[in-house]
Chain A
Amino acid sequence: MSSSSPSDRPRTIRVLLAKLGLDAHTIGVTVIAKSLRDAGMEVIYSGLKQTPEMVVATAIQEDVDVVGISSLSAAHMNHLPRVIELLKAEGVGDKLIIAGGVIPKEDGETLKAQGVAEVFTMGTETATIVRYIEDWWATR
């Protein structure tokens, strides 16, 4: 991937899917990864036990367009705001940040106010997430 600018030729959408802290529920992220790949996106997976610093470093190094955080543990409010803060501090706050998993509505609202574009809770169809990313890509 040569450039982050889409002006020259259509570029493949690059997505980082990340797990933070000790949350080891991977079924959701596995299904999403395959669905995004099947839709033609490039998916980079962070692996488990990541800190916000590690996730942001990977996002920059891999020059991704989208950062997707999967959270099915209790600690999303401990880690997610820090990811947003660090992305902004590194000057790459224009990436699409989305989250998914078990995130209560109130927490979802707080995260959206801080910069998460959308929160996809349990039961969201994979096609909905694919379409959301594609729509964002087309209109950004």
Chain B
Amino acid sequence: MRLYVAAQVSIVCGHGASVGCPMPDGKSVESYVSKRDPIEQGASSDGGSDLDANFKRWETETLAPALESAPERKEKFRTQALKWDVNRLYSPRDLEAIDFDFNRDVGFPGEFPYTRGTDPNGYRSRLWTMAQVTGFGTGEDWATRADYMLEQGLDGLIIEYDLPTTNGLDSDHPLAAGEVGRAGVAIDSLEDMERTLSFDFSKLKHLTSVCNGPQPVNLAMIIAAIEKKGIDPASFTLQMPNAILIEYTCVGRYIYPPEHGLRVATDVIEYTIRNQPHWVPIAVVSAQLYAARANPVQELAFGFSIAMEYLDSVLKRGLTIDEVAPYFSFITGVDMDFFEAIGKLRAYRKVWARLLTERYGAKGEDSLRLKLMSSPGTMSMTLQQPLNNISRLSMQMLSCVLGGGGQTMTSPLHDEAHALPSEEAIAVGAAIQNIVAHESGTADTIDPLAGSYYVESMTRRIEDAVMAEIEKIDAMGGALQAIKTGYFQRELAREQFDRNKEIEDGSRKLVGVNHLAKDDEERQIELFALDPGSEQRQIERLEALRERRDNTKVDAALGRVRAAAETDENLMPSVLEAVKVLATQGEICDVLREVFGVYTPDSLTSGV
């Protein structure tokens, strides 16, 4: 018991309400509740009952009269996503109720269970990598934007590809009409990737390439392009989400049936571990689950269950857990409920470390340390009154830093709900990161909210609920099974419906949407305008490529991809060869479609 009292020193003093700050030795702790009735509590064994008595006294003597003149403004106070009751006041009683133990629950930074962060010195030695998502147009457009972003002080870039690319289709496919270069950059061949990667690599630390379904083709194109450019693959970190199981759950950019999707993803992971050991071949993008309205418990439980499917699948390739686990990374989304967000980030690290030790017997520190990227913004940006989003983003960025959002954070964008990011939004987003980093002081001490009665209660409650949900998914046969039976999809559909209902009935207030809303407001922000001609140019380029390349070589290379797909040979070497002779992404994926089949969800698994 004594340890947690000591841990709360800074919090109690920080409120400025204390008349006798608890001493670090825990011997003499005066009541900070009442000046009239100081109580000895501290490390003594009867501290709990004294506190109980004092708590009750406060409720009757001080609180009750106040409530009489000013009743509470809501019947129930609940957290936003989890709908957990929020107590009026948290105190050591809440930590006793969960049998809180400093060493077991919190511990020290860089040590198990990593609640206080994976870096032993928090953000005091190194700030997080500040990254930015972007993607539109053709390869040249992307490279120009990349140079602009690197000049803004960002050192990590995230490439988003357009929908035809992420669905494994070429730009001239009928389903691609109207989508080429829209939601991301259009890639058909190695030449497009070379154009995309023609920015100044000397400033780049981190590159994330988001192309889940066709990830082997995408990885092959990046390897071949930087080889031609003469760039050392070890000079930056390439992170591939390779997160196909999330696509079946909510995003919808799947290609093959789930088992085959898992095999393709496993090929990418195994190949990267063996051939590009400084890169990160898997990121479980739980941010996508969050974007589909998963609450924090669902986000972590579904995400970790999915991660364990990949782990189990790679372990079958003859690698050990400590050879594989260090290559696993995660990307999370951060929402508006400040304490849910902080509790989620702290529980995220703890649950990963527990799963790896308890279930897999991992020993390596690098296996247990969660590699996390956090994305503020995305789903909480409103279309109405877009400048308000800047304030939302600052709060989310703050919760990222206070909760320990990991080694990389993405720059938030206040025009997310409107359009592709404008240059202004990118600059403001980068500024928000820097304001929190350099002006708020929150990055100057490690895990500053540790010991907060509320934050520790929230962290533990999320941890326990995530472990229980993972066990429930285990009982269904794991994540792949939960996807195939539509469990994840239906759970998310329910959350989506409930959230919409809360906004419509006003029980959840959103400023500018159902609170302080204005009719017919003018847009007040600069929006990015896309070049309407880029789709046609991309298609013409693709047609010219098909004419000019050596099609005999292409056919032979595609034949070798097919042969690999038909056996359990790793797809990467043959795909790399096909990419180098300028086979297009659509052509390579078509071969795989013929071998693996195409996934079509039914009414149960669509979630609708």
Contact = CB atoms under 8 A, between A and B. Distances in A.
Interface residues of B, number: 33
Contacts of A77: 178
Contact of B179 (A31, A75, A123, A125): A75
Nearest to B513: A123
Query: Which size class do A's interface residues fall under?
Result: 20 to 34
A79 B608 contact: no
A115 interface: no
A52 to B, nearest CB: 10
Given A24-B253, A74-B183, A34 B497 contact: yes
Contact of B608 (A23, A29, A122): A29
Nearest to B601: A47
Contact of A73 (B182, B292, B601, B608): B182
B383 interface: yes
Interface in A53-91: 73-79
A131 to B, nearest CB: 13
Contacts of A21: 163, 175-179
Contacts of B606: 26, 45, 47-48
Nearest to B418: A102
Contact of B293 (A22, A27, A48): A27
Contacts of B175: 21-22, 49, 51
A39 interface: no
B603 A45 contact: yes
A47 B608 CA distance: 8
A51 B493 CA distance: 24
B247 to A, nearest CB: 9
A134 B424 CA distance: 44
B607 interface: yes
Given A21-B178, A74-B183, A77-B178, A31 B497 contact: yes
Contacts of B164: 22
B133 to A, nearest CB: 17
Interface string B575-608: 0000000000000000000000000110100111
B600 A47 contact: yes
B504 A73 contact: no
A30 B178 contact: no
Given A30-B497, A31-B500, A122 B383 contact: yes
A30 B493 CA distance: 6
Interface of A: 17, 21-24, 26-27, 29-31, 33-35, 45, 47-49, 51, 73-79, 122-123, 125-127
Given A22-B164, A45-B606, 14 more contacts: A24-B252, A26-B252, A30-B608, A31-B497, A34-B497, A45-B603, A51-B174, A73-B182, A73-B183, A75-B177, A75-B182, A79-B178, A122-B383, A123-B384
28 contacts: A21-B176, A21-B179, A22-B163, A22-B169, A22-B175, A23-B163, A24-B253, A27-B292, A27-B293, A30-B496, A31-B497, A34-B493, A34-B497, A35-B497, A45-B603, A47-B601, A48-B606, A51-B175, A73-B183, A74-B178, A74-B179, A74-B183, A75-B178, A75-B182, A79-B178, A122-B383, A123-B513, A125-B504
